[in-house]
Amino acid sequence: MLLWSMWSAVLLLTSVSSAEEEEDVRAGCSTAVNDLVYIVDGSWSVGFGDFDTAKQWLINITSQFDISSHYSQVAVIQYSDTPRLEISLGHHQSGAELIQAIRSVNYMGGNTQTGRAIKFAVDHVFPSSQRASKVKNRIAVVVTDGKSQDDVVDASMEARAQGVTVFAVGVGSEITTSELVSIANKPSSTYVLYAEDYTNIERIRDSMEQKLCEESVCPTRIPVASRDEKGFELMLGLNILSKSEKIPGSLLTETAYLLSTSTDITEKTREIFPEGLPPSYVFVATIRLKGAAAKLTYDLWRVLSKDKEIQVAVSLSGRDKTVVFTATSRMQRQQRVVFRDSFQTLYDGKWHQLKLLVQPGQVTGFLDDELIQEMSLGPVEPIYINGATQVAKKRGTDITVPVEIQKLRLYCDPHQSERETACEIYSVDDERVSQSNYRGCF
- C-alpha span between 60 and 53 (Å, rounded): 11
Render pLDDT for 276-294 as a digit per residue (tens, 0 to 9): 999 899 999 999 999 999 9
Which of these, 142, 51, 33, lies nearest to 89 by C-alpha position? 33
Render pLDDT for 32-62 as a digit per residue (tens, 0 to 9): 888 999 999 999 999 999 999 999 999 999 8
pLDDT at 2: 43
pTM (two decimals)? 0.84
Q: Is the per-residue pLDDT at 353 higher than 80? A: yes
Instruction: Give 373's pLDDT tier (boundaries 50, 70, 90).
Output: very high
Which of these, 97, 205, 68, lies nearest to 143 by C-alpha position? 205
277: which strand partners? 28
The residue type at 90: G
Render pLDDT for 154-194 as a digit per residue (tens, 0 to 9): 999 999 999 999 999 999 888 899 999 999 999 888 899 99
pLDDT at 22: 62
Q: Is the per-residue pLDDT at 416 higher than 90? A: no
Give 59's contacts (C-beta < 8 A, 6+ positions apart): 99, 102, 103
Are 365 and 356 contacting, i.e. CB atoms less than 8 angstroms apart?
yes
Burial of 21 (0-12, 13-18, 19+ CB in 10 A): exposed
